[in-house]
Structure 1
Amino acid sequence: MYLTYSSSSSLTIFLVSLLLVGDHGRARIILPENVTVPAVIAFGDSIVDQGANNNLKTLVKANFAPYGKDFVAGKPTGRFSNNKTPADMIVEQLGIKVLLPAYLDPSLDDKELLTGVSFASGGSGYDPQTPKITAVLSFADQLDQFKEYIEKLKGIVGEERTQYILANSLFLVVAGSDDLANTYFTIGIRRLQYDIPSYTNLMVSSASNFIQDIYKLGARRIGVFNAPPIGCLPSQRTLGGNGLRMCVEEYNKAAQLYNSKLQPEIKHLNGTLAQSRIVNIDIYRPLLAIIENPLQYGLEVVDRGCCGTGNIEVAVLCNQLLPTCLDDSKYLFWDSYHPTEKGYNILISQVVGKYISDFF
């Protein structure tokens, strides 16, 4: 594994017309009349990896302490955080279930399949080279698993109900930061072939093709996350911040360029794919706002993670031999790349209301 592994920290979404405070103080999404969201289905990288990498031969894993420190019974599940991921928060707010499982979870039952799963694999990306670097599931692999999942649904509820579930479910596509942070900048295997403008073109083209692939299989409501300000993530500050650990402007500008190209492509797809609701979810600006004004959000530390020094530790480098911070609720990041549960919650609250109506 490579010291920056990424994942866009990428995060989350949308839905509905009215938010009420439900049990345990969590916001609950009340859907518009006659609207149903039977399931949530996620693709992408470690932001919504619910444990897919646990049994892969890769170093990009999180199924060991201190990951999951604040999860039920302090159990590490393969989620790259101290607790839940955005995917879990979304299915809970929708009232579908408490947690979104990984498709590769060996304990998965029919009921879980009907209400959604995640195919995401930490360390993956739109560039076919990205998952090869860390030996994780590519988008092609995730698409194959999705096809297998559809056949399983047909076996459980039949063809007609399966098509209904697919057409009305919420699909999340979360990727891009591993491509930029690892494949292009840190490891640099694409630098001899592409400059940043051409590499971001490759990313957008791959993202577009994947969206069209899942559309052909029945997906209609699709939330596509853009890239975060990768240059301000703790590991990137360490690796590219010239010793001062400042935000790396070159990395942020690359993310901005990608985002500026993704938005019109999604608009084009909405105009050409009948009955589609494809939503470009901006996490760049909300996350940067938190980083620049942490006290406004009840946070104190945004330039390092809670695990170890917080400067570089991620995946196997964040392990039980290292200390963790005393109070992770003061930290935006859990490790050097992924937010804490509190960080995710803040981010979700920033973007949820903005995209509600776009999915219906």
Structure 2
Amino acid sequence: MSSQSLQQSSPVLAKILTYFLLLLSSSATSVAAAGKKVTAIIVFGDSTVDPGNNDYIPTVARGNFPPYGRDFDGGVATGRFSNGRLVTDFFSEAFGLAPTVPAYLDGSYTIDQLARGVSFASGGTGLDPLTAQIASVIPLSQQLEYFKEYKERLKEAKGEAAAEEIVAGALYLFSIGTNDFLVNYFVLPLRRAHYTPSEYVAFLAGLAGAAVRETYGLGARNIVFSGLAPFGCMPAARTMNRVNPGECNEEYNRAALEFNAAVRDAVVGAELPGARVVYSELYGVVSDMVGSPEEHGFENAAEGCCGTGYIETSVLCGMDQAFTCRDADKYVFFDSVHPSERAYEIVADHVLSTALHVFL
């Protein structure tokens, strides 16, 4: 029966059919909108998400030499502080973007490539501006200035409307805070003379909230702020543990947990109309890998693959290649501070199924 005949024979039935056709059309549109992936991955933070920005600034905090990058595509040491890809690289691939997130300061990338993902992160930096000064690296404030510059480059290359669409649809990731404690507070007690641990946590949480609000003011609408892993269980922290040598430093881990709680409240509680701000919990999954490495296919969680595994990171890794392990997949940590590619992949899978699932 034709639609014309249906309308003539049963006006009520025709109206019902029309209603359901409209409903189905609306539902299909809603599903398509809900399933739309992010336009780009935009990253701020420290060495956990720095793909090589430190290669282009005068600092010793670099990873652009072997054995770093030995399991990266082509065996290239890009500046990532690991044997291969970082957690943000796995995120980018999962969202159907590029398999790696480029460093903003790497001039070999075009703005078209950077339009799908870019990292402004700098190894050694922190929320506290003093932390970046210690290592002569890029502070978070400068990373945000680079983001402003990036936005202008997008407008020039793609037009204002397209640039605004990329910025509004991008996923913004923050991974930062470990160096503030490990370097600035505990190892070099520059801030400890002026802050109790709880006061310093509150200070950093305030800076985290301010960074999220500033990013929002620059157009970000999808923001993820990562908590700290149990950095007291890093090989370097174990080595420096004077109370229980070789064991996790529980004072450091307590600081991480206190920081995580404060930052979660600061960033998720921010009143940002039209934005989705998510806290990403990492402490548990890394703690599981460290506490039960064999359950995740690892053989060693107390030492890094690089060098002797106890203290080597950055330039020290390059000096002790002869001692570096053969199979980094068996190690939770590649050097004495940074996870191996396989550990990053496990963390990425965890975050994608928890904090980031709302964006997929």
Question: Does the pair score TM above 0.5?
Answer: yes
Are residue 308 (structure 1) and residue 285 (structure 2) matched? no
Partner of 2:331: 331
The answer (yes or no) to whether the contact 1:37–1:169 under 8 Å persists in 2 is: yes
After TM superposition, give the deviation of residue 66 of structure 1 in Å.
0.6
In structure 1, C-alpha distance between the alignment counterparts of 2:255 and 2:54, rounded to whole Å: 28
Equivalence map 1:89-108=2 (5 Å): 89-108=90-109
Partner of 1:27: none
In structure 1, C-alpha distance between the alignment counterparts of 2:319 and 2:185, rounded to whole Å: 31
In structure 1, C-alpha distance between the alignment counterparts of 2:130 and 2:111, rounded to whole Å: 34
The answer (yes or no) to whether the contact 2:208–2:266 under 8 Å persists in 1 is: no
- Determine helix, strand or coil for the equivalent of 2:354: helix
Are residue 55 (structure 1) and residue 56 (structure 2) matched? yes
Partner of 1:84: 85
The answer (yes or no) to whether the contact 2:38–2:359 under 8 Å persists in 1 is: no
The answer (yes or no) to whether the contact 2:124–2:179 under 8 Å persists in 1 is: yes
TM-score by length of structure 1 reads 0.88
In structure 2, C-alpha distance between the alignment counterparts of 1:49 and 1:105, rounded to whole Å: 12
Partner of 1:117: 118
In structure 2, C-alpha distance between the alignment counterparts of 1:31 and 1:62, rounded to whole Å: 41
Bigger CA radius of gyration: 2
How many positions carry a matched residue from both structures?
Answer: 329
Q: Deviations over 1:297-352 (max 9, x none)?
A: 01110011000111000001111543211221110000001111111111222222
Over the matched positions of the two proteins, sequence identity in percent amounts to: 39
Gaps of 5+ in 2: 1-30
In structure 2, C-alpha distance between the alignment counterparts of 1:212 and 1:82, rounded to whole Å: 34
- Determine helix, strand or coil for the equivalent of 2:54: helix
Are residue 39 (structure 1) and residue 40 (structure 2) matched? yes
Partner of 1:26: none
After TM superposition, give the deviation of residue 267 of structure 1 in Å.
2.5
In structure 1, C-alpha distance between the alignment counterparts of 2:314 and 2:52, rounded to whole Å: 12
Report the aligned-residue RMSD: 1.6
Q: 1:279 to 1:220 in 2, by over 3 A?
A: same
Equivalence map 1:113-192=2 (5 Å): 113-192=114-193
In structure 1, C-alpha distance between the alignment counterparts of 2:237 and 2:295, rounded to whole Å: 24
After TM superposition, give the deviation of residue 136 of structure 1 in Å.
0.1
Q: 1:31 to 1:135 in 2, by over 3 A?
A: farther
Partner of 2:205: 204
After TM superposition, give the deviation of residue 265 of structure 1 in Å.
1.5
In structure 2, C-alpha distance between the alignment counterparts of 1:188 and 1:354, rounded to whole Å: 35
The answer (yes or no) to whether the contact 1:65–1:320 under 8 Å persists in 2 is: no
Partner of 1:15: none
The answer (yes or no) to whether the contact 1:66–1:320 under 8 Å persists in 2 is: no
Q: Deviations over 1:266-319 (max 9, x none)?
A: 2211xx101111110000111001111111101110011000111000001111
- Determine helix, strand or coil for the equivalent of 2:355: helix
Q: 1:210 to 1:31 in 2, by over 3 A?
A: farther
Q: Deviations over 1:196-220 (max 9, x none)?
A: 0110011101111111111000001
- Determine helix, strand or coil for the equivalent of 1:78: coil
Gaps of 5+ in 1: 1-29
In structure 1, C-alpha distance between the alignment counterparts of 2:108 and 2:139, rounded to whole Å: 23
In structure 2, C-alpha distance between the alignment counterparts of 1:257 and 1:110, rounded to whole Å: 39
In structure 2, C-alpha distance between the alignment counterparts of 1:258 and 1:352, rounded to whole Å: 22
Q: 1:318 to 1:256 in 2, by over 3 A?
A: same
Supply the AA of the counterpart residue of 1:286: V
In structure 2, C-alpha distance between the alignment counterparts of 1:290 and 1:118, rounded to whole Å: 26
Partner of 2:7: none
**Greater RCO (CA < 8 Å, at least 6 residues apart):** 1
Q: Deviations over 1:28-83 (max 9, x none)?
A: xx997452311100000001101000021111000001100111221111000001
In structure 2, C-alpha distance between the alignment counterparts of 1:35 and 1:55, rounded to whole Å: 35
Partner of 2:296: 297
Q: Deviations over 1:224-277 (max 9, x none)?
A: 0011111111101111254621000111001111111111112211xx101111
